[in-house]
Copies of this chain bind each other. A is one copy, B any other.
Amino acid sequence: MNTPSSPRWRRRKSARPDEIRDAALELFVERGFAATRMDDVAARAGVSKGTVYLYFETKEALLRSVVEDLVEPALARAESRAASHGGSSAELLRELIRMWWHTVSGSRLSGLPKLMVSEARNFPELARYFAEHVVRRTRALFEGVIRRGVERGEFSPRLDVEAGARLAMAPLVYASIWQHSLACCGDEDFDPERFVTAHLELFIAGITCKEAK
């Protein structure tokens, strides 16, 4: 009876939690946690109010699941791809920035930075998780490349590696956040592609430039 050949039913069943997570992510990013009603999450996921509670014990548990379960696989993929690159340090850095941007910008994850920034103080445990599992790990990737560049003499020897890694990412994070907030209401001129490209060039110019000061 319950053969794997009855796919519609089976797939729907196991897909439910994902559909709910996706709906919740969209709404949490758009409105914030407190301003999102569980009814809206249910409606956007196409289920009834009660169904959400079949899969997630509380609204807060739903938030945790949204953050933790979406982030891990994406990050693991990114790290493995990052490890497989060769070339000059500048080239590598360029790749890393482009990869970050293309991985995050169009995907469901693009709203996570805004969400975490908005809710960090209200959910410190979750913020800690995010800081350690996402922020730190991502920064480690950038620090690795920058340190290599400094050690090989490709980048300025006076470069502060940690601050440099943060600075490489800051405009990317800023762009993600901006796209989900003011770029929707008021700053529609913001062109993230152009912004990220300019950052890429300017940042690499800055860290490779030998003449400066």
Contacts and interface: CB of A to CB of B under 8 A. Distances in A.
A148 interface: no
Interface of A: 30-35, 114, 116-122, 124, 127-132, 135-136, 156, 159-160, 162-164, 166-167, 170-171, 173-175, 177-178, 180-182, 184-187, 189-190, 194-195, 197-199, 201-213
A135 B198 contact: no
A135 B186 CA distance: 9
B34 A181 contact: no
A131 B209 contact: no
- Nearest 8 CB-CB pairings of A with B: A131-B186, A206-B206, A163-B198, A34-B34, A209-B209, A127-B185, A205-B212, A118-B118
Nearest to A123: B185
A173 B183 CA distance: 14
B211 A181 contact: no
Contacts of A189: 162
